[in-house]
């Protein structure tokens, strides 16, 4: 039994099985946002590791192929942007202004909230990349010296917030234009929000993934500068 | 069945028939990432190599559609199942749950606050700007 559990492929198998199982469960229950497959799979794998007595380092070595794929996946984010390129170029002024204003507000609120609370600089650094899509947030977190695992959880929380509360909040402030709705969700809650926006309409989904990529690019440039004030 | 027409030939997707499109696409994406990493190394700009690779694919793809067609067989499934790649770091975070709970107050305020403010600003601003363009 111990040979099986500690075989090099076991962690990878566990992760794939948990992800596929969670995806199937999600589909059968009518896609509730709170039971996002990634969250369910994370919990299942964490519990299994604990029960079977597998250390996190051993697990990481087993799933190194998944970690490796984050790089090419980040490069592939150019594809949805290229797909909606023409619509974005036609409205580039509006898009750029929204991108800058939202980025500034987002960073300012994050820093202000944590500073008012008297949180440590390390925590500020960790919270900054949270609205950026996860593969970029991970590498960006490493660049600015954040706790990357915690940064990933905050990123996931933002994503789930966007998928659950996002559409409701946009209704409250009377944003009805599908382009604006999609863009707003993509800006603050990246991939998880984008999959929810795609469910609203193709237009919303396209603008959402464009916002996700543009936000990642903008934050890659801006955050290292902001981070310098806290390290 | 006699008379059944032969299946239509695979649409030309860039590579020769004997090259598996998924592997070729993955090699292209990895190559762009590594080129980005090399550029970061040389110039010392504080940007992840993969993001430079993203910008490179953006520039190449806007100029040559063929590059997009070659990247898609690997890129599309990767993006569709991007969340699978987040499971390992997420598991690591669960083991750090105590940091999260300790700082739950400020974190909730920072994440929730910037989430709500960002969403409302982006939605209302872009809607107003797009509407003005149409009426102008």
pLDDT per position as a tens digit, A24-41 = 998 899 877 677 788 889
Separation in Å, CA B69 to CA B16, B28, B78, B85, B131:
13, 11, 15, 24, 34
C-beta of residue A41 within 8 angstroms of C-beta of residue A63: no
- What CA–CA distance (Å, rounded) separates B36 from A42? 31
pLDDT tens digits along A153-179: 788 788 878 877 888 899 999 999 989
For chain A positions 156-175, those within 8 Å of chain B (CB to CB) are 156-158, 161-162, 165-166, 169-170, 173, 175
CB contact burial B49-77 (16+ within 10 A = b; e otherwise): bbbbbbbbbbebbeeeeebbbbbbbbbee
- What CA–CA distance (Å, rounded) separates A74 from A25? 27
pLDDT at A180: 92
C-beta of residue A159 within 8 angstroms of C-beta of residue B116: no
Interface test mutation site (partner A, options B119, B121, B134, max chain A beta carbons within 10 A): B119
pLDDT tens digits along B64-120: 989 999 999 999 888 888 778 878 877 887 776 766 677 777 778 888 888 888 899
Tell me what ipTM this predicted complex has.
0.78
pLDDT tens digits along B15-45: 567 788 999 999 999 999 999 999 989 998 7
- What CA–CA distance (Å, rounded) separates A92 from A74? 23
> How long, in residues, is chain A?
231
Residues 6+ apart with CB under 8 A from A155: A129, A130, A131, A132, A133, A134, A137, A190
Per DSSP, the residues of B72-102 read: HHHHHHHHHTGGGGGHHHHHHHHTTHHHHHH
What is the distance, to the nearest Å, from the Cα of residue A54 to the centroid of all Cα atoms in its chain?
Answer: 27
Whether A76 and chain B come into contact, CB under 8 Å, resolves to: yes
Interface test mutation site (partner B, options A58, A74, A171, A214, max chain B beta carbons within 10 A): A74
For chain B positions 62-121, those within 8 Å of chain A (CB to CB) are 62, 68, 71-72, 74-76, 78-79, 81-96, 99-100, 103, 105-107, 109-121
Q: Pick from B61, B57, B48: which is nearest to A221 by CA?
A: B48
Q: Pick from A35, A54, A227: which is nearest to B91 by CA?
A: A54
Considering only alpha carbons, which residue of chain B is nearest residue A119? B106
Greater confidence (A21 vs A80) lies with A21
> How long, in residues, is chain B?
136
Judge: B58–A216 Cβ closer than 8 Å, yes or no.
no
How many other CB atoms sit within 10 Å of the CB of residue B116? 17
């Amino acid at each position: 039994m111990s040979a099986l559990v500690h075989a090099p492929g076991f962690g990878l198998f566990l992760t794939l099985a948990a992800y596929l199982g969670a995806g199937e469960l999600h589909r059968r229950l009518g896609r509730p946002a709170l039971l996002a497959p990634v969250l369910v799979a994370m919990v299942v794998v964490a519990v299994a590791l604990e029960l079977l007595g597998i250390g996190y380092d051993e697990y990481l070595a087993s799933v190194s192929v998944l970690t490796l794929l984050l790089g090419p996946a980040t490069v592939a984010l150019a594809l949805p942007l290229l797909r909606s390129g023409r619509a974005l170029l036609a409205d580039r002024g509006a898009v750029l202004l929204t991108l800058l204003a939202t980025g500034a507000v987002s960073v300012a609120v994050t820093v202000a909230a944590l500073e008012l609370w008297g949180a440590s600089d390390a925590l500020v650094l960790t919270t900054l990349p949270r609205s950026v899509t996860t593969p970029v947030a991970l590498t960006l977190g490493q660049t600015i010296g954040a706790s990357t695992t915690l940064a990933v959880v905050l990123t996931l929380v933002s994503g789930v917030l966007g998928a659950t509360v996002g559409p409701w909040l946009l209704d409250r402030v009377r944003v009805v234009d599908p382009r604006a709705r999609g863009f707003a969700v993509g800006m603050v809650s990246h991939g998880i929000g984008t999959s929810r926006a795609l469910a609203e309409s193709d237009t919303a989904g396209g603008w959402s993934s464009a916002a996700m990529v543009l936000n990642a690019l903008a934050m890659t440039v801006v955050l290292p500068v902001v981070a310098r004030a806290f390290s | 069945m006699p008379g059944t027409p032969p299946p239509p030939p695979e649409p030309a997707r860039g590579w020769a028939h004997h090259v598996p499109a998924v592997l070729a696409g993955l090699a292209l994406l990895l190559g762009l990432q590594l080129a980005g990493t090399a550029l970061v190394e040389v110039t010392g700009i504080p940007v992840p190599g993969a993001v430079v690779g993203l910008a490179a694919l953006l520039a190449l793809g806007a100029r040559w559609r063929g590059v997009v067609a070659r990247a898609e067989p690997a890129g599309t499934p990767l993006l569709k199942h991007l969340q699978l790649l987040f499971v390992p770091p997420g598991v690591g975070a669960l083991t750090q749950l105590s940091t999260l709970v300790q700082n739950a107050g400020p974190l909730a305020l920072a994440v929730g606050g910037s989430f709500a403010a960002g969403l409302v600003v982006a939605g209302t601003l872009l809607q107003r700007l797009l509407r003005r363009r149409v009426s102008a």
